[in-house]
Amino acid sequence: MIRFRHASISEKYKSYEWLCLSDTAQMHMGNPDYPNSPIPDWSEFKEDFEDFYYLEETRKKGSVMIINNDMEEIGCLCYACFHLKPQAAELDIWLKSKEYCGKGYGTNALINLCEYLEAVYNIKNFIIRPSVRNTRAIRAYEKAGFKKVEKDERQKTINDYLIPEYISEYGDGDYGFEDTEVLIKTTE
Ligand SMILES: CC(C)(COP(=O)(O)OP(=O)(O)OC[C@H]1O[C@@H](n2cnc3c(N)ncnc32)[C@H](O)[C@@H]1OP(=O)(O)O)[C@@H](O)C(=O)NCCC(=O)NCCS
């Protein structure tokens, strides 16, 4: 059974450790496989994940969440809406150790997060943007109901989801336009 809850500001460093200092970090960032997306240090993480991700009053903009598998905390979910048009959220996920990967936890957490965001914030359109090389993540997202956008449709999808003023900063995704897969899921 997978559960999750919003992280508090006192858990910001923990979520950084799980993302950047864990043995899962190199599965999606840094050398050798992701040289264009270096692993952030603590000061870079603090800028990328501004405090609003950890505050109750700004949960409409986005939030980092702690995933629990009934036994222990196993990683983080994140959603962000501030840069997107209404009823849309961009999702992210990282488990804190390889020992928790490949057991269905990530897929399950994402399915539950989409249901939660629809129930609480009426969000019906979801986007997630891993590296094209992160086959494990892509497989998990497809199992969670996401569909890959064809390469020649990616820009249109970005334009459909993002508020125009954010396209220059966030349009290409973390790995650059060519290397970022775009997957979407809609409940409408
Ligand atoms: C991505 C992640 C959240 C997925 O969660 P998970 O619990 O490991 O995923 P699941 O177990 O539900 O599914 C993984 C699927 O990938 C498959 N898989 C595992 N290793 C793989 C590989 N090297 N290549 C391709 N597929 C792979 C598994 O077989 C499984 O598919 P199946 O059920 O059809 O057999 C988790 O692996 C993780 O935290 N990875 C490191 C961080 C990361 O990459 N985050 C994504 C950033 S966009």
In this structure, the residue with its CA closest to atom 22 of ligand 1 is 136
Q: What is the pLDDT at residue 96?
A: 98
For position 188, what pLDDT does the model report? 73
What backbone phi and psi angles, to 5 degrees, belong to 178? -65, -35
**pLDDT score recorded for residue 18:** 98
- Nearby residues of 4 by Cβ (< 8 Å), 6 or more positions away: 65, 66, 67, 68, 77, 109, 112, 113, 116
* Whether 71 contacts 81, CB under 8 Å: no
pLDDT per residue as tens digits for the range 160-173: 999 999 999 999 99
Instruction: Evaluate if residue 153 carries a pLDDT over 90.
Output: yes
DSSP 72-94: SEEEEEEEE-TTB-TTEEEEEEE
pLDDT for position 44: 97
Which one, of 137, 5, 25, lies nearest residue 67 by Cα? 5
Mutate to test the pocket of ligand 1, among 23, 101, 131, 132 (most ligand atoms within 8 A of CB): 101
pLDDT at 1 over 90: no
Nearest-CA residue for ligand 1 atom 5 is: 106
> Rounded mean pLDDT of 4-12?
98
In this prediction, residue 70 carries a pLDDT of 86
Domains observed in the chain: 3-186 (3.40.630.30)
Pocket of ligand 1 (CB under 6 A): 24, 27-28, 75, 92-95, 101-107, 130, 134-137, 139-140, 143
For atom 26 of ligand 1, which residue has the closest CA?
136
- Average the pLDDT over 96-120 and give the result: 97
Task: State the distance from the centre of ligand 1 to the C-alpha of 164, rounded, in angstroms.
Answer: 32
Rounded to the nearest angstrom, the distance between the alpha carbon of 174 and the centre of ligand 1 is 18
Q: What percent of the chain has pLDDT over 90?
A: 97
pLDDT value of position 87: 97
Pair 121, 82: CB distance under 8 Å: no
Residues 30, 5 contacting (CB under 8 angstroms): no
- For the stretch 58-103, pLDDT in tens is 999 999 999 999 889 999 999 999 999 999 999 999 999 999 999 9
* Residue 177 reports pLDDT greater than 90: yes
CA distance 24 to 45: 16
Strand ranges of the sheet holding 125-128, from the earlier edge strand across to the other edge: 3-6, 62-68, 73-80, 88-95, 125-128, 183-186, 147-148
> What separation in Å is there between the alpha carbon of 57 and the centre of ligand 1?
32
Mutation test residue for ligand 1: of 139, 141, 182, the one with most atoms within 8 Å of CB? 139
- 5: which strand partners? 66
Q: Read off the pLDDT of each residue in 132-156 and give the average, rounded to a whole number.
A: 97
Q: CA angle 88-35-16, nearest 5°?
A: 55
